[in-house]
Structure formats: C-alpha cells, structure tokens
Structure 1
Amino acid sequence: MFATSLTSGTSGRGGPASPSVADIVAALDTAYPRELAESWDAVGLVCGDPADRVERVLVCVDPVAATVDEALEIGAQLIVAHHPLMLRGVHGVPADTSKGSLVHRMIREGVALFCAHTNADSANPGVSDALAAVIGLDVRRPLVPHADGADTGLGRIGELSEPESFATFVDRVGAALPATTPGVHGAGDPERPIRTVAVSGGAGDGFLDTATAAGVDAYVTADLRHHPAGEHLEQPGTVPALVGLTHWASEWPWCGQAAEVIGGTGNVEVHVSTRCTDPWNVRANGSTK
C-alpha cells in the first residue's frame, strides 16, 4: 500500500441529487469513446443498474478482490477500473470461481463496475498522457496514432523542459510513480543526455521499433521482456534507452485523470484506490511491499 490518494467532487450528503450510474458512464464514454477500443477488448458497464444513484466512486487499475474490498469499505456504489474483469468470453459467472465471486459480491452489495481499457489508452487525454504528465513531459503526439494527423492513439511522445542524464531520468520516473516491489529499472548509458521520450502505459515492448523510428532518447513502458529488450539494445546505431515499469504502476496515474472526469458529473465523491494490485510483492532479500 502507498499513501497517495485523491478525492474529487463534493459530498454525497445534501445538496443536488447525486448522479446516476448512467450519468457517470456517459461522462466516461465521452472522455474515453468506446469506438477507440481495440476489437478484442471488453469495455463498458459489467454489472450494476444504470438508474442507481451514486454518492461515492472508487477508481482503480484492477477489478480484483482487494479493490472490491476497498470499495465496500468506503461505501462506494461504483467501481471504475482500467482493466476488464472478463476480457475473454464466458458462459457463466458461478460464485465458486474467482471472477464470478466478485460479480456476485458486487451485485449483492449494490456496487456497479465499469471498465475503460484500450479506449482509455487511445483517448486524448488518456492513460499515456497521465503517465507522461507525472514524469514531467510536454506531450507532442501519439506514439502510434490511429490515423495520419490524429491526436488519438497508443502511447505518447514528449519532451523534458531540459535535457538530463539517463541515470537522473530513471530516478525521475521512480520518484513520480507509486512504489512497487520490483521498482523502476533502466537499460542504457547512465550519462546519456535524455530530452525526447516515448511512453506507453501497460505492456509496450511491441512498440520498441516504433519508438526507435521516432528517434526518441528514451522509452518508458511496462512488462519489458528479456529477448525483445535485449535485441532492441543490440541493434546497430543509436536506439532509445529503456525504462521498465510494472504494469500496474505505469497505468495508475490514469486513475487521477478518470477521477476528474467523474468528479465533473456533480454531487459525488471520487476516491483513487490506494491499494497496490501489482502481483509482485516479495523480493529475494525478504522485503515486501
């Protein structure tokens, strides 16, 4: 767990009526249009009554037992998550399965679940904009635009206000994101000057060649695998230095962005999850998160 949290909007007690689930879904669909989602994705309302009123919302990366616990502890009527609960097709949600048990629990407790995944990745602003912002980048364009000249797409390319060494830049990224047990790691010359940077929230080693073609000094993403990263660094010529993050940490800044969208719907409290749902929690020296 880490200390950072955010509350947006106003109290659900008194004053104007709280927004409905449908009101909040409409605001999120405007900010993160569903047509931007990849064809294989599963986004939108997973469970819950669109007509129900919402006084309190929890925004998180992962819809898992820990965040459902957190939602119930704060009395939330809606969870807004980045990752889908059921990405692949299912034929049932029996309560004796891990995901089915969450669905049954949320329905029993009157908690709706909404997921914005690759549509939030590609929206402007979206997941990678939030990552770029906390690092201190001035965003210029998408790394992988949806179409020529589009301001939507996956990843972002930005610039630091002043160049700094790669070692300093890795420290900058580490300080900007919530702590995880694996931490933040870099691959490159520690003294190399860094000014232009590509970022991609979530697993981004599929864009290594794209970042190289963009001519950036460094590329920040999650879930970098050994062979793609090693082959990238062995290429002739100058290639971007790499900064590796955990998947959860790379996407957590989006929660604050989504909270602002939800807070704009009216009389509702919005809380950003303070629970690290990164699966890696033990290091070889015995330390735990």
Structure 2
Amino acid sequence: MAAEIRNAEVFKAMETWAPKHLAYDWDNVGLQIGSFGKPVKNIMITLDVLEATVDEAVENNIDLIIAHHPLLFKPLNQINLETAKGRIIQKLMKYDISVYAAHTNFDAADGGMNDIMCNLLGINNPIVLDKNYTEKLVKIAVFVPRSHADEVRDAMSRKGAGHIGDYSHCTFQSQGQGTFKPLEGSDPYIGAQGELEFVDEVKIETIIPAAKMTPVINAMIEAHPYEEAAYDIYPVENSGNVYGVGRIGTLNEQISLKTLCTRVKNELDVQNIRVTGDLDRNIKTVAVLGGSGEKYIKKAKHMGADVYITGDMTFHSAQDASEMGLSVIDPGHYAEKVMTSYTKSFLDDFFEENLNIAVSQSNTDPFQFI
C-alpha cells in the first residue's frame, strides 16, 4: 500500500519547479486555503479558481486545487456569502478542499509558463525578458575520507550542488591528510579516544545556489561517515541563473506575421486573436509573456523583437507599439490555460501513480466571441 501523501509534499514538489522566491513581491503564491498537513489523493489543475471550478471539484471529490491565478490576491476585508468570492471560500471550507497557487514564480521558473509558450510556438534559445531574480551562489568545501568521497559527492549533487548549465556533479577535488584527536565522549568513525589520527582525505569543492544550501549541507552530513563533518562555506561573486517573466528568442526561419498568428491560434488553442502590423511582414525574433504584458513593450522592442505576444493589450499601448515598429499579437489572458496539462504531466511523473490528477474542464474565460 502506498504511503499517504499530504499537501505539504505536493507543495514541495511544485516548488522544486517554481520556487516561491521567484515570485514578484506584490504577488501572493503558495497555500491559499486549507492546511499543509491535509492528506491528498485527488488533485485538479486549473488556471482560475471560480465558483464553477469549485463546483467541479466538489463533484469530483477533489482534495486539492492547484491554480495559476491566486484565489486570494488582495487582502480580504470581509467574507460575504452573498458574493461569489464568499461562496467560493464557504464551499472550499465546507468540503475541505485546499487551494494552492503558483503565479509569477511559475511564470519565471525554468520550464514554467513562458518557456511552455516558447516550446509550443517554436521560439528557440529564449532568454528572460524582464529580470526579477539573480541566483546567489556560495562555494562549499568538505573534507571526507577517500572511501566515502563518491557517496558524499552524489548526495550533494542530488540536492542541487554542482549544477552548471546542462551539467551536474561539477566539483573539484584534491587529496591531502586530515588530523583529529577524538576526545572523551566522542564516538569516532576512525581512530580511538585520546589518540591523534592521520587520515587520507579528499577535499570536495563545488558551487551551490544559496537557496539550496541547507538541503545540500543536510545531505552531505547524512552521507558523511564522520561524527562531526568538517566543511567550509565561502561567498562568491559569480552570478547564478537569471529569472524573470517573459522570454525572447528566435524562430527556426523567417515566417510572415500572418503565419505566426495562425500558429498562435493553433498551439495556444484560442479561437480569436488581435494583431497589429503588416500581416505580410517577415518575423524572426519573437518576445512572449503570458498574461498581461503591455508594460514591457519597450523592453521587447529594445531587445530586438519583431513581434510581441502577450495578453490584455490596451488601445493606446497597442498604438505605442505600432509607432515604434513592434507588431503585437494578443491571444488573450486565457491562453495561459496551456499550463494545466504541463502541470499535470509534471506531477504525474513526480508522484508516479500515487495521486489522481485531473485537468479542470471548466471554462474560466469571461469572454465569448460573436
């Protein structure tokens, strides 16, 4: 029988993909309703948490809703059961359904919302459009007997140490001799109390993102044979990975703006789009930002975009983009629904067959086209 899984384990899994520290400071991500300790078996993935979404969750005995858009975005002054928000909260509490949101942290994450869109649209070698977070790095040096060097190195690497680009287990090691004298009350792995011991050791050095330092150190200590592991932590000036919302990259070949519009409709599964610019114009460099991205039109243009794909473009911002020679494709905010199937696949792989994970069938797009 599979071990019981709790909300906290699912949240932790999501945050290996979209760490909370990547969220913008104005955002509200993580647990919205419920508790960390609640057992979970049935999960539903959705873009939004509306009343129809919650009714669907109740009907399908859902324990946890994972949403992109936070249910609780602004502070609540009251929970009025005569309002839609009040009824939503009441139903969630009554049927013990938890809600978790991954929003701008999911937008910024590697493989998150904007990378999903790039993948679907064939945008290659994307880089961040708006930088929000630069990873801080530290160096760790640990001294370990030669017999356990591989075990300690592997344990640290599994927790995120020594990952550079597409490579893992990036370390440097040097050999030397360590000394220690076990004192009264010690329980030495090597040697005896009161006797100075000389041991052939390996010094393993590697880089760690500061955010992963604690789990790496814990893994190292657990794998280390000594009662007291000797290690040093150094600050470094190297810059780590850069994160933020939006991406800009290039297509395999030039295509017309009209052809790109068709691709956007097909790949993002939207019925209608709005577009500015000459439809026969050739397009090569494309910027994309899921959700509302009109405030980044100048940045997209400055970084060399021929076209900017984003939702919720307003009239005057579209005019401004046209004046600076930047075409805009607006597939609407609801295009972000592409995150649901990718999130399901991630959690299916992470938990194998121990959870039932479904994608919401509720249409939360407020617009219809006639």
Same fold (TM over 0.5): yes
- Any runs of at least 4 consecutive aligned residues in structure 1 with deviations exceeding 3 A, and if so which? 147-151
Measured in 1, the distance between the counterparts of 2:310 and 2:128 equals: 14
- Out of 150, 155, 160, the position equivalent to 2:246 is 155
Measured in 2, the distance between the counterparts of 1:217 and 1:271 equals: 37
Q: Does 1:247 align with 2:338?
A: no
Instruction: Give the match for residue 293 of structure 2.
Output: 204
- Out of 258, 269, 272, the position equivalent to 2:359 is 272
Measured in 2, the distance between the counterparts of 1:139 and 1:149 equals: 18
Q: CA deviation at 1:125?
A: 2.0
- Out of 276, 282, 306, the position equivalent to 1:217 is 306
Unaligned ranges ≥5, structure 1: 1-14, 284-289
Deviations 1:28-56 (A, max 9, x none): 12211111111111111111232222222
Deviations 1:97-122 (A, max 9, x none): 22121111011112110011111111
Aligned-partner residue type, residue 168 of structure 1? T
- Please state whether the residue corresponding to 2:351 is helix, strand or coil: coil
Measured in 1, the distance between the counterparts of 2:323 and 2:101 equals: 38
Aligned-partner residue type, residue 240 of structure 1? L
Instruction: Give the match for residue 6 of structure 1.
Output: none
Measured in 1, the distance between the counterparts of 2:52 and 2:45 equals: 13
> Is the 8 Å Cα contact of residues 129 and 139 (structure 1) preserved in structure 2?
no
- Please state whether the residue corresponding to 2:71 is helix, strand or coil: coil
- Please state whether the residue corresponding to 1:24 is helix, strand or coil: helix
Instruction: Give the match for residue 173 of structure 1.
Output: 264
- Out of 341, 345, 348, the position equivalent to 1:260 is 345
> Is the 8 Å Cα contact of residues 23 and 103 (structure 2) preserved in structure 1?
yes
Report the TM-score when normalising by structure 2.
0.67
Aligned-partner residue type, residue 110 of structure 1? D
Alignment of 1:180-195 (within 5 A): 180=271, 183-195=272-284
> Is the 8 Å Cα contact of residues 46 and 115 (structure 1) preserved in structure 2?
yes
Alignment of 1:15-26 (within 5 A): 15-26=1-12
Measured in 2, the distance between the counterparts of 1:156 and 1:142 equals: 5
Report the TM-score when normalising by structure 1.
0.85
- The structure with the largest strand share of the pair is 2
- Please state whether the residue corresponding to 2:320 is helix, strand or coil: helix
Deviations 1:193-244 (A, max 9, x none): 1121100000011000000001122110000000011122123xxx331101
- Please state whether the residue corresponding to 1:75 is helix, strand or coil: coil
Measured in 2, the distance between the counterparts of 1:78 and 1:244 equals: 32
- Please state whether the residue corresponding to 1:162 is helix, strand or coil: strand
Instruction: Give the match for residue 21 of structure 2.
Output: 35
Aligned-partner residue type, residue 85 of structure 1? L
Instruction: Give the match for residue 287 of structure 1.
Output: none
Q: CA deviation at 1:245?
A: 1.4
Measured in 2, the distance between the counterparts of 1:100 and 1:68 equals: 12
Percent identical pairs in the alignment equals: 32
Distance change >3 Å, CA 104–CA 268, structure 1 → 2: same
Instruction: Give the match for residue 108 of structure 1.
Output: 94
Moved more, 19-28 or 50-59: 50-59
Measured in 2, the distance between the counterparts of 1:282 and 1:191 equals: 25
Moved more, 100-109 or 144-153: 144-153
Instruction: Give the match for residue 7 of structure 1.
Output: none
